[in-house]
Amino acid sequence: MSEPPRKLVIIGGGVIGVEFAMIFNSLGTRVTLLEMLPQIIATEEPEVIQGLHRLLEKEGIRILTQAKVLRALPLNGGVRVVFQRGSGEEEISAEKVLMAVGRKPNTESLDLDKAGIRMSRSFIEVNLRMETSVPGIYAIGDVTGKMMLAHAASAQGIIAVENMLGKNREIDYQQIPSCIYTFPEVASVGLKEEEARQQGYELQVGRFPFRHSGKALAIGETEGFVKIIAEKELGQVLGVHILGEGATDLIGECVLAMNLEGTIEEWGEAVKGHPTLSEILNEAALDWQGLAIHSPKK
């Protein structure tokens, strides 16, 4: 397109749909986002996405969840989209429709069945060494149906090649971050709160809002918060979820700390430069312990 449309309907409220909603909204397009599930970006921590949802609507993006698209029809140089919410049908018209309902692997022409490679639907099954059901044949990337992220595919590729050369490495998907490039950004690593509870952990949660950060105030980016999930008795960090400016950079520090098996107490004791956004991670760790001094008492 040489210029943004005046009105755009995006079908699919996953990562790509939401990122493009913000892009077109910032270019002056009136955006409506249709998502079939109760929550946009259902793969992320609900508390974080609820905060992002509010910010998207604040920016003027219309979000309709539990909206099942039935059909899209040409209409006077544009498109009419018919969808179902509850028991009734609704419709909306726009100049363009952007389909963002996910992706599927392109494996049909590879004759993988002739090689005896086991599939899961159209995805190639691999173990943690990135080896398929046939010894000596490896697969990486989105075609494995794991984390469909560029940095995840790169990590899978390195592990696959090292195993081909005789090493014995396995991938740990809990140590690979998810990054969403919205305004502000969203990033996470490890378990969501509900996932951790389902796995039997007794949890404690630490939070700290950007609006209580000196650096966030100085740069005018006060929306969002950090949420740290840790095991209650030993302080093992199980997951970190961030909504806010620089989230995709801040999550790298969390990945390293979790890789090194740092406890929540050690996170809180680390001394950071001031003012920096990374101090927010310390404050969330201290909040977990009831020791955050830069946040009003509950």
CB atoms within 10 A of CB 235: 18
Q: At what angle do helices 279-288 and 247-259 cross, to 10 degrees?
A: 60
Q: Give the start-to-end residue ranges of the domains of the chain.
A: 7-99, 108-171, 175-288
Give me the architecture of the 175-288 domain, per CATH.
2-Layer Sandwich (3.30)
pLDDT string in tens for the chain (298-residue length): 899 999 999 999 999 999 999 999 999 999 999 999 999 999 999 999 999 999 999 999 999 999 999 999 998 889 999 999 988 899 999 999 999 998 889 998 899 999 999 999 889 999 999 999 999 999 999 999 999 999 999 999 999 999 999 999 999 999 999 999 999 999 999 999 999 999 999 999 999 999 999 999 999 999 999 999 999 999 999 999 999 999 999 999 999 999 999 999 999 999 999 999 999 999 999 999 999 988 766 6
Predicted TM-score (pTM) of this structure:
0.93
Rounded Cα gap, residues 160 and 148, in angstroms:
16
**Topology match between the domains 7-99 and 108-171:** yes
The CATH T-level fold of domain 108-171 is FAD/NAD(P)-binding domain (3.50.50)
Catalytic residue at 274? yes
Give the contacts of 225 (CB within 8 A, at least 6 positions apart): 51, 207, 208, 209, 210, 242, 243, 244, 284
- Does the domain formed by 7-99 have CATH 3.50.50.60? yes
What pLDDT digit, counting tens, does each position of 101-124 carry?
A: 988 899 988 999 999 999 998 899
Q: Which amino acid is at 252?
A: G
* DSSP letter for each residue of the chain: --S--SEEEEE--SHHHHHHHHHHHHTT-EEEEE-SSSSSSTTS-HHHHHHHHHHHHHTT-EEE-S-EEEEEEEETTEEEEEEEETTEEEEEEESEEEE-S------GGG-HHHHT--EETTEEP--TTSB-SSTT-B--GGGGTS---HHHHHHHHHHHHHHHTT------GGGS-EEE-SSSEEEEEE--HHHHHHTT--EEEEEEEGGG-HHHHHHT----EEEEEEETTT-BEEEEEEEETTHHHHHHHHHHHHHTT-BHHHHHH----SS-TTHHHHHHHHHHTT--SSS---
Given the residues 151, 212, 274, 294, select the one marked as catalytic.
274
